[in-house]
Amino acid sequence: MTWLRNVLVDLADDSPQVDLAERTIAAHDRRRRAVISYLAAAMVVVVALGVTTAIRLLPDGHQEAASIGDLPARGVGPLSHAYRTFCKPNSGKAPSGCRDGGWRVVTRSGKTYHVPEALPSLAPGRTGLRASPLAISRDGRKIAYYSAREDTFQVRDLASGQKTTAATKVPQSQLGSVSRLMLSDDGRFVAFSKVPDLKDPAVLIDMRDGVARELPNRWVPIGLSQDGATITLAEYSPRSRLRTISNLWPSSSKGDTTSVILPVDYFFSPLAPDGKTVAVIENRGTAEKPCRYGDLALMDTLTGEKRKPTAVSGLPSDVSRISLRTWLSADEVTALTTSERCRSASEAVNDEPAVNDPPYQTMTAYAVNVRTGKARKLATYRAQGFFDIVLPGPPGAL
Query: Which residues sit opposite 298 in a β-bridge?
Result: 279, 307
| Binding status of residue 8 toward another protein by CB under 8 A | yes
Angle at 36 between CA 63 and CA 51, to 5 degrees: 95
The residue from 364, 367, 387, 391 that contacts another protein (CB under 8 A) is 364
Please tell me whether residue 53 adopts helix, strand or coil conformation.
coil
Stretch that binds another protein, among 43-51, 130-138, 216-224, 312-320 (CB under 8 A): 312-320
Query: Which residues sit opposite 108 in a β-bridge?
Result: none
Angle at 73 between CA 67 and CA 75, to 5 degrees: 85
Q: Given its phi and psi angles, is residue 85 left (phi above 0), alpha (psi -120 to 50 degrees) or beta?
A: beta
Query: Which residues sit opposite 259 in a β-bridge?
Result: 243
| Binding status of residue 320 toward another protein by CB under 8 A | yes
Closest approach of Cβ 372 to another protein, in Å? Answer: 14
CA–chain centroid gap for 331, Å, is 21
Closest approach of Cβ 63 to another protein, in Å? Answer: 18
Question: Prior bond to 250 cis, omega within 30?
Answer: yes
Within residues 365-384, the interface with another protein by CB under 8 A covers 380, 382
| Binding status of residue 318 toward another protein by CB under 8 A | yes
| Binding status of residue 23 toward another protein by CB under 8 A | yes
The residue from 319, 324, 333, 389 that contacts another protein (CB under 8 A) is 319
Give the C-alpha separation, 161 to 153, whole Å.
16
Q: Which is nearer to another protein, 8 or 264 (CB)?
A: 8
Please tell me whether residue 106 adopts helix, strand or coil conformation.
strand
The residue from 56, 199, 307, 341 that contacts another protein (CB under 8 A) is 341
Kind of pairing, strands 112-114 and 69-70? parallel
| Binding status of residue 354 toward another protein by CB under 8 A | no
| Binding status of residue 340 toward another protein by CB under 8 A | yes
The residue from 160, 162, 247, 362 that contacts another protein (CB under 8 A) is 362
Q: What are 244-247's contacts with CB under 8 Å, separation 24+?
A: 244/301, 244/302, 245/215
| Binding status of residue 292 toward another protein by CB under 8 A | yes
Give the C-alpha separation, 60 to 294, whole Å.
58
The residue from 53, 96, 317, 350 that contacts another protein (CB under 8 A) is 317
| Binding status of residue 347 toward another protein by CB under 8 A | no
Query: Which residues sit opposite 147 in a β-bridge?
Result: 118, 152
Query: Which residues sit opposite 122 in a β-bridge?
Result: 129
| Binding status of residue 345 toward another protein by CB under 8 A | no
Q: Which is nearer to another protein, 247 or 346 (CB)?
A: 346
Stretch that binds another protein, among 117-125, 190-198, 315-323, 327-335 (CB under 8 A): 315-323
Q: Which residues bind another protein (CB under 8 A)?
A: 1, 3-25, 27-28, 31, 289, 291-292, 311-313, 315, 317-320, 339-341, 362, 364, 380, 382
